[in-house]
Amino acid sequence: MKPTWRRLLAVLAGVITGGIVIFLMETIGHTVIPPPDHVDLSDIDSMNAYMQEAPVAVLLFVVLGWLLGCLMGGWVAARIFKESLLASFICGTVLLVFSIINMTSFYHPVWVWIAALAGMVPAAWYGGRLGIRR
């Protein structure tokens, strides 16, 4: 397989893996600390109101999910494309863009923005480093 196609496959597999990890972490967070009954997760206004008063632990699950998703996505990308960390970096950047879209869709505290912007791409890079080592 040509390196370009393998890199593309690596990025795609990394983003899918990262998305699954993020989904699982957020699901665990909502199971451990369920939102109040009056919160409609499909309504933006209801989500905005909830996110302004959400417990820090709920938001930690979200941030932890984003960081672990990038770490695992970067690892998978590096396992498929071992020549460089570029696929891991691209994977982390794509997941960061998705998270920015999420954060602009409804309210997130400033510290969540800072954690995502500062941590997601480095987490993917580190996952890539772990993936290349093996």
pLDDT digits (tens, 9 = 90+) for 61-102: 999 999 999 999 999 999 999 988 999 999 999 999 999 999
What one-letter code names the amino acid at 18? Answer: G
Q: Is the distance from CB of 124 to CB of 91 less than 8 angstroms?
A: yes
Phi, psi of 109 (to 5 degrees): -60, 160
pLDDT digits (tens, 9 = 90+) for 3-37: 889 999 999 999 999 999 999 999 999 899 998 98
